[in-house]
Structure 1
Amino acid sequence: MKKKILLICAAAATAAAVSVPAQAQFAKAEDAVKYRQSAYTLMANHMGRLAAMAKGERPFDAGAAQASARLIESLGHLPWEAFPQGSTSKGLKAEPWADAADFKERADRFKGEAAKLPEAAASLESLRKQVGATGASCKNCHDKYRNI
């Protein structure tokens, strides 16, 4: 299990390191859509694990919580470069590139909240608060930009 988590963390760190030039690497708009949706899928899975602990639906495990929190923090840097002009998908209700400053502000807010997750995952009480704050930052962007 530890090997798997370390492998995932290494992959996430590598992906984060190459995410800045990622926009230039999308040959087709569909590639950008797949890239960002993959990052969101992984983040949603790990946020679901943390939320289940925070709600008492799953026993609190600080090690597992911190592993998920670190992944969310790392993965949280990936999707933002994958919104080149024209990469519309059925999940978008507003085009992020139409108001790039607003989109960046919302992305930065999420990244800031996600960065607090690993430390907060040390205790159930702090995890509950930070899962709520991080989830609210997700919702903030979804309310304007996500159609689903």
Structure 2
Amino acid sequence: MNVLATLSLATAIATLSVPALAQFQKPEDAVKYRKGAMTVMGAHFGRIGAMANGRVPFDAKAVADNAALVETMSKLPWPAFAAGTDKGETRALPEIWTEQAQFKESADKFQAEVAKLAAAAKTGNLDSVKTAFGAVGQTCKSCHDNYRKE
């Protein structure tokens, strides 16, 4: 039930996010938005990781549900890295704005790998999930290494 509620919330956010993105009144609103999206995404990615790494029993349906949510969420934070949102309580490095093409490429690669994870999760095959999970994790690490303060 909790996963269903979370998926419903993610769908609502995705549906409403496009008009909302144009309406950030203050840069700190965009920062809060992208932090929230990353936090939710990370929580659900972590649930998949716990199963992929054997810390909790593998549940194919739970992996598929969480991967679908991560895939939806993977599209949300990027527009909130708009000009002027590099100030305040953010761990975003200035390179996001000075290397916009590379940052976008990193985001696109992340989304592509997340789509592969969602597809692998639908198969119910743990080995496929592990492989795809590792690839997504590498894109996360690469982006964090290049564009996030410690």
Distance (whole Å) between structure 1 residues aligned to residue 104 and residue 19 of structure 2: 16
* TM-score, structure 1 normalization: 0.91
Q: Which range is displaced more, 95-104 or 106-115?
A: 95-104
**For residues 110-129 of structure 1, what are the structure 2 equivalents within 5 Å?**
110-121=110-121, 122-129=124-131
RMSD: 1.5
Identity %: 48
Could you report, residue by residue, the CA deviation over 1:25-72 in whole angstroms, capped at 9, with x for unpaired residues? 110111001100001001111111111111111100001111110000
Secondary structure of 2:22's aligned partner? helix
Identify the match of residue 53 of structure 2 among 48, 52, 55.
55
Could you say which residue in structure 2 is the equivalent of 1:137? 139
Say whether the 8 Å CA contact 2:31–2:90 is kept in structure 1.
no
Could you say which residue in structure 1 is the equivalent of 2:28? 30
Say whether the 8 Å CA contact 1:22–1:82 is kept in structure 2.
no
Distance (whole Å) between structure 1 residues aligned to residue 144 and residue 99 of structure 2: 15
Could you say which residue in structure 2 is the equivalent of 1:42? 40
Q: Which range is displaced more, 92-101 or 76-85?
A: 92-101
Letter in 2 for 1:110: F
Unaligned runs of 5+ in 2: none
Letter in 2 for 1:20: V
Could you say which residue in structure 2 is the equivalent of 1:109? 109
Could you say which residue in structure 1 is the equivalent of 2:90? 90
Distance (whole Å) between structure 2 residues aligned to residue 130 and residue 75 of structure 1: 17
Unaligned runs of 5+ in 1: none
Could you say which residue in structure 1 is the equivalent of 2:18? 20
Letter in 1 for 2:93: K
Deviation of the 1:94 alpha carbon: 2.8
Secondary structure of 1:26's aligned partner? coil
Letter in 2 for 1:106: S
Could you report, residue by residue, the CA deviation over 1:69-121 in whole angstroms, capped at 9, with x for unpaired residues? 00000000000011111112431223422222111111000010111122212
Could you say which residue in structure 1 is the equivalent of 2:148? 146
Distance (whole Å) between structure 2 residues aligned to residue 22 and residue 54 of structure 1: 35
Secondary structure of 1:19's aligned partner? helix
* TM-score, structure 2 normalization: 0.90
